[in-house]
C-alpha cells in the first residue's frame, strides 16, 4: 500500500470536484436547502388540523371544556351544529369534530367519568392524534379549574371514520410510501437509462433514423411503465401479503394509482435527463426532484401542518395527489365513485400528459 498513490487519487478527485459545480451544489447547497425546508415545515407554524366543536350542553363543565378546546394551540376550531359537523367530516373539510352532548356536564359530575365524543377521519395518524390530545388537554384544563379534589376520570369516546387503533404507523404511512418508492425508483432508472442513450451515442443514431421523437418517448414510456407495473406488483404484493399493510380498498385501484404515478415518474425522468450529460449528473437531480416531494407531499408530515406558502407548493406536486389517492383507497376504502379520488387521479394523469409533451420537446433531434 502506497500512501502516495492513495493521496494522488484523493487529490485528483478533489481537483475534479472543484470544477464540478453540480457536485459542489449537492455537497454544500443541497443539505442547507433541505434542512431549511425541513425546519420551515416543522417550525413554520401550520394552522393545525381543523376541528368542529358541537356543544349541546349548557353546563359549566361543557362551557369550560369548549372554551379550552377553542383556545388550544394545536388545532383550529370552529363552533357549529351537529349536522354541519357531520357534513364537514363527509366532505373532508375537517380532521374531526368534538361533541359535548346534552347532559355532558351533569353526567360527568354524577358518574365521575368525563366522556366527550371525538369523531376523527382517521386516514392520517397525525391529525387524529392531535385532535385527541387537544381534547384531553382541554378536558384536563377545564376539570382543574372547576373541580376540587380527585378529578373525574377522562374517558373520551373516540370514533374513527377510517382506520382506528388497530392500525399502526406502517399502516398509515405505508400507503404513501408504496407510491413514493415506485415513483422514486422508476424516475431514477428512467432518467439514467434515457441518458445512457445519449452518452453511448445511440440517441444520435436513433435521431438519424425515421424514428420520431414522440415515438421514442412513447416507446420509453411503455417500456418503463411495464417495468414500473412489475415493480408495483412486487411492492404491492410484499406490502399487502407479507407486511400486511392495511388496505380497505380494491387492490386493482391501488395498482391504478401507482401505475399512473409511475407514468409521471417515467416522463419526468426522460425530461430531466435532457439537462444532464452524465449519469452522475442525472443522479444529482435527486435532491432537487425527490427530496422536496418527500417533505412536502404529505408522505411523512401532514400537509395541513405546513406553513401556508409551503402548502401552496405541496398542492402542485404530483406525489401529493398520489398520496391522497393511495390513502383514499387503502385507508378509506374509496372507489371510483369517490369524487376526491377521481380528482386526484385526474390531476396525476394531467401531470403525466404535460410531462409527456415536455419530454418529447426536450429530446433534441441533434444530441449535443
Partner 1 sequence: MPPAIEVNGVTKTFKDLRALDGASLRIETGEIYGLLGPNGAGKSTLIRTLAGLLTADSGTVKVLGHTMPDLAALDQIGYMTQQPALYPDLSVEENVRFFAALYGREDDGVQAALELVDLASRRQSIVATLSGGMRTRCSLACAVVHKPRLLVLDEPTVGIDPQLRAEIWGKLGEMAADGVTVVVSSHVMDEAERCQRLCLMRAGRILAEGTVAELKKLAGVKRLEDAFLRLSAEPAA
Q: Which residues bind partner 1 (CB under 8 A)?
A: 200-202, 204-212, 365-367
CB of 74 vs partner 1, minimal distance in Å: 55
CB of 273 vs partner 1, minimal distance in Å: 17
CB of 206 vs partner 1, minimal distance in Å: 7
DSSP 1: -
Query: Which is closer to partner 1, CB of 150 or CB of 210?
Result: 210
Sheet of 157-160, strand order:
76-79, 50-55, 96-100, 117-120, 157-160
Query: Which is closer to partner 1, CB of 178 or CB of 270?
Result: 270
CB within 8 A of 171, min separation 6: which ones? 163, 245, 246, 331
Query: Which is closer to partner 1, CB of 134 or CB of 217?
Result: 217
Determine the Cα–Cα distance for residues 125 and 165; give it in Å rounded to an integer. Answer: 10
Residues 162, 122 contacting (CB under 8 angstroms): yes
Region for residue 179 given its phi and psi (left: phi exceeds 0; alpha: psi -120 to 50; beta: otherwise): alpha
Residues shown for the chain: 368
CB of 29 vs partner 1, minimal distance in Å: 27
First-last CA distance in the chain: 42
Query: Which is closer to partner 1, CB of 148 or CB of 209?
Result: 209
CB of 97 vs partner 1, minimal distance in Å: 58
Determine the Cα–Cα distance for residues 287 and 179; give it in Å rounded to an integer. Answer: 18
Query: Which is closer to partner 1, CB of 130 or CB of 274?
Result: 274
Determine the Cα–Cα distance for residues 97 and 258; give it in Å rounded to an integer. Answer: 32
Query: Which is closer to partner 1, CB of 151 or CB of 367?
Result: 367
CB of 366 vs partner 1, minimal distance in Å: 4
Query: Which is closer to partner 1, CB of 64 or CB of 216?
Result: 216
CB of 193 vs partner 1, minimal distance in Å: 11
Phi, psi angle pair for 345, to nearest 5°: -60, -40
119 sits in which H/E element: strand 117-120
Query: Which is closer to partner 1, CB of 110 or CB of 364?
Result: 364
CB of 8 vs partner 1, minimal distance in Å: 28
Q: Three cell numbers at 58? A: 349548557
* Residues 61-97 as b or e (16 or more Cβ within 10 Å = b): bbbbbbebbbebebbebeebeeebbbebbeeeebbbb
From the number of C-beta atoms within 10 Å of its C-beta (0-12, 13-18, 19+), residue 12 rates as: exposed
Amino acid at each position: 500500500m502506497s500512501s502516495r498513490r492513495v493521496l494522488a487519487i484523493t487529490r485528483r478527485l478533489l481537483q475534479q470536484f472543484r470544477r464540478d459545480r453540480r457536485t459542489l451544489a449537492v455537497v454544500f447547497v443541497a443539505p442547507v436547502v433541505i434542512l431549511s425546508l425541513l425546519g420551515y415545515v416543522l417550525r413554520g407554524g401550520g394552522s393545525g388540523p381543523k376541528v368542529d366543536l358541537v356543544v349541546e350542553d349548557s353546563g359549566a363543565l361543557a362551557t369550560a371544556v369548549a372554551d379550552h378546546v377553542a383556545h388550544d394551540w394545536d388545532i383550529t376550531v370552529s363552533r357549529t351544529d351537529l349536522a354541519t359537523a357531520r357534513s364537514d367530516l363527509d366532505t373532508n373539510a375537517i380532521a374531526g369534530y368534538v361533541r359535548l352532548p346534552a347532559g355532558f356536564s351533569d353526567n360527568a359530575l354524577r358518574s365521575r367519568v368525563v366522556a366527550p365524543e371525538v369523531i376523527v377521519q382517521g386516514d392520517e395518524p397525525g391529525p387524529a392524534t392531535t385532535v385527541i390530545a387537544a381534547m384531553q388537554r382541554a378536558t384536563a384544563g377545564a376539570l382543574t379549574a372547576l373541580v376540587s379534589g380527585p378529578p373525574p376520570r377522562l374517558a373520551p369516546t373516540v370514533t374513527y371514520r377510517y382506520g382506528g387503533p388497530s392500525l399502526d404507523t406502517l399502516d398509515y404511512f405505508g400507503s404513501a410510501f408504496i407510491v413514493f418508492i415506485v415513483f422514486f425508483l422508476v424516475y431514477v432508472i428512467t432518467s439514467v437509462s434515457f441518458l445512457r442513450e445519449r452518452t453511448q451515442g445511440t440517441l444520435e443514431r436513433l435521431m438519424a433514423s425515421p424514428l420520431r421523437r414522440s415515438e421514442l418517448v412513447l416507446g420509453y414510456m411503455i417500456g418503463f411503465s411495464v417495468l414500473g407495473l412489475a415493480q408495483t406488483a412486487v411492492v404491492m404484493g410484499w406490502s399487502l401479503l407479507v407486511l400486511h399493510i392495511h388496505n380497505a380498498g380494491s387492490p386493482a385501484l391501488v395498482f391504478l394509482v401507482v401505475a399512473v404515478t409511475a407514468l409521471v415518474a417515467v416522463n419526468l425522468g426522460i425530461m430531466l435527463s435532457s439537462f444532464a450529460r452524465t449519469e452522475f449528473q442525472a443522479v444529482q437531480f435527486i435532491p432537487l426532484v425527490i427530496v422536496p416531494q418527500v417533505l412536502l407531499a404529505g408522505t411523512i408530515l401532514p400537509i395541513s401542518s405546513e406553513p401556508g406558502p409551503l402548502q401552496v407548493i405541496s398542492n402542485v406536486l404530483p406525489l401529493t395527489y398520489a398520496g391522497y389517492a393511495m390513502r383514499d383507497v387503502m385507508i378509506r376504502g374509496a372507489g371510483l365513485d369517490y369524487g376526491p379520488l377521481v380528482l386526484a387521479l385526474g390531476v396525476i394523469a394531467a401531470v403525466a400528459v404535460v410531462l409527456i409533451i415536455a419530454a418529447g420537446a426536450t429530446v433534441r433531434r441533434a444530441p449535443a
